[in-house]
Structure 1
């Protein structure tokens, strides 16, 4: 099943704080934006994918949101890998289109954690699973789990806070050119390591922003894409994997990106050297560093050295990443950053990123990490190509 499938529409909500809006309203606004971007009517949509709608997180999200949006889908998917869900959804949409289930899939994300006053990762969530019953009593939070992974990486490989800070420095540089970014001020390595310690060894500036908003994508068949005047971006490869405790054999320095990435590269038929731009999930600086290693851009344990010296900075770095400012500085809508990773990769391949950070990109990667690398997480990787339908 190798029929070409394309991302034909992409839209990121411009707001970062929306106290006057509801989550379904934000879904509707990003859906409308993606349809306008592709110059498609809503009636063309016959597939719908979403996840993580807080008000409807009991498995009914696609039903409730399809009703709210007025959609009549022949295919629905609510696979929930946390923040990486929407990277996976693009792959699932491509498969459904190739299987003849639908022709145009809409993927939406929206959330309001900033307006709700949520401090991401700093407090224990309510107990919902068997695992939670055993873990939450010890004070487990997302923040402490990522900090534990960072501490182990430092122990195993000598990774320093200064090397982690290089990730934030690159993201902040890019955010300075994005008028919608939550934080646009440049930062230095010293600024990061001098910021308040929140969970040793992670400082405040090692952590992502908290924002409202959302985003949407439209994935379509070649027949549909060929009728549109808008440049389309081809879905070349897609891979997923799950990382977890493995009955106590967990390696905190390793993520499931080693498997999701390998599967995506194999399907795309390209190698790491072919990637001109990378969107990499950046809930924390350690998330980026471990993903870079596990995706094969450098050897395990060498991520700290790899990110030094402007490697991640566009347009001239060896691996320019997150040119919108990423989750660290720009946007992490609904505490789920996978959607914006795909959107910025699409912008880069279309030549529509901010001029100062636009890369000469023919092949791009978008990678998501959802959940916690300290307990269990989902990894999803996309390889995308430019050139239109």
Structure 2
């Protein structure tokens, strides 16, 4: 059975949520926007998946009830940057099995100062027991060390990472939903205060409040709508048991199967949405998915393909400029890739028939333990 994404929704991202803003309300807003985009109502939905760090004390079933959903399939995911790919994989299987025919997947969080501080201090047992007492507030220091290792291994300099941030800010300038749209120069990037050497302010993803959603259906329910057909979804978890150097992600292991199942290659992609909590992870995922060879001249690739925006990479501005709405960070790239395939990219629209979306995240101790890849194709 063919399965596709037919619509998207995004509750506007903001650094400063209005009083009274709630996680459940923000996610419900994104779901409502996605259903409106699809021309559907809550009564049409029979499957729902949600990912959030701040939905407590409610759960997926509570949120579904509050939104008036009567379901035959339900899931709740807690895998952060890998949540969208994980939920998408399960939703495809559910539709293929006949457990549901119209599935809404959503992710989002209220990320004010208190919520963010609580999240980074109690992210998981390893963080609470071993990192917070140091103190190490959040993953910046961990990824600073990983970035240093990558610089040494691949011959990268801060300027190379800066060119990624500058290019994504240019894309963000064309995205009215991005939190940071003011042009960024390489000089401004290099002059920004260091957060954890070699990471500066513009290397670290800004937390925001917001939510994203997509509507996934069996093609027979698409009603002739333009859609993003799901060609493949693959995932990898705990691939090296946190015993590696962190420079090789789980994409190295699951991407080849995704390309094989989809019958395409990285070179065929018109759009790439790569999880970008730090520029170093953009580089790592591009290498691991095969978009650039590890032995290539990566600084030149960044200059020639990314800075020039010849490569349609993170065309929303990515999380580095659009913002990271908690667990919605894992959904942000999927929404953007889908919008490009549906021709809804506005001023940033590119010629797009094929897109790949990578998910990465869940720092168990030193770096992300989850990764996945989805390959999509525009279809009438």
On whether the aligned pair clears a TM of 0.5, the verdict is yes
Aligned to 1:125: 121
Aligned to 2:156: 159
Aligned to 1:365: 356
- Whether 2:54 is the aligned partner of 1:54: answer yes
Report the Cα distance in structure 1 between the residues aligned to 2:363 and 2:297, rounded to whole angstroms: 19
Report the Cα distance in structure 2 between the residues aligned to 1:110 and 1:65, rounded to whole angstroms: 12
Provide the TM-score with structure 2 as the length reference: 0.92
Report the Cα distance in structure 1 between the residues aligned to 2:260 and 2:284, rounded to whole angstroms: 21
Over aligned residues, Cα RMSD in angstroms?
2.3
Match of 1:187 among 184, 187, 192: 184
- Whether 2:55 is the aligned partner of 1:63: answer no
CA contact (8 A) 1:337 1:368 kept: no
Aligned to 2:17: 18
1:136 positional shift: 4.2
Residues 259 and 291 from structure 1, CA distance in 2 versus in 1: closer, same or farther, beyond 3 angstroms? same
Residues 128 and 368 from structure 1, CA distance in 2 versus in 1: closer, same or farther, beyond 3 angstroms? closer
Residues 127 and 281 from structure 1, CA distance in 2 versus in 1: closer, same or farther, beyond 3 angstroms? closer
CA contact (8 A) 2:3 2:230 kept: yes
Provide the TM-score with structure 1 as the length reference: 0.90
Query: Over residues 304-339 of structure 1, what are the superposed CA-to-partner deviations in whole Å (9 max), with x where a residue is unaligned?
Result: 42542251257x61x211111110101321254121
Match of 1:234 among 229, 237, 256: 229
Query: Over residues 158-201 of structure 1, what are the superposed CA-to-partner deviations in whole Å (9 max), with x where a residue is unaligned?
Result: 21111111110111001111222111111122221211111111
Report the Cα distance in structure 2 between the residues aligned to 1:47 and 1:219, rounded to whole angstroms: 9
Match of 2:299 among 297, 305, 311: 305
Report the Cα distance in structure 1 between the residues aligned to 2:87 and 2:363, rounded to whole angstroms: 19
Q: Which segments of 5 or more consecutive residues in structure 2 lack a partner in the other structure? A: none
Runs of 4+ displaced beyond 6 Å: none
1:302 positional shift: 4.2
Aligned to 1:333: 325
Q: Which segments of 5 or more consecutive residues in structure 1 lack a partner in the other structure? A: none
The within-5 A match list for 1:1-389 is 3-16=1-14, 17-20=16-19, 21-56=21-56, 61-114=59-112, 116=114, 118=116, 124-126=120-122, 128-129=124-125, 132-140=128-136, 141-225=138-222, 227-228=223-224, 230-243=225-238, 246=241, 249-300=243-294, 302=296, 304-312=298-306, 317=310, 319-334=311-326, 336-355=328-347, 357-372=348-363, 374-388=366-380
1:8 positional shift: 1.1
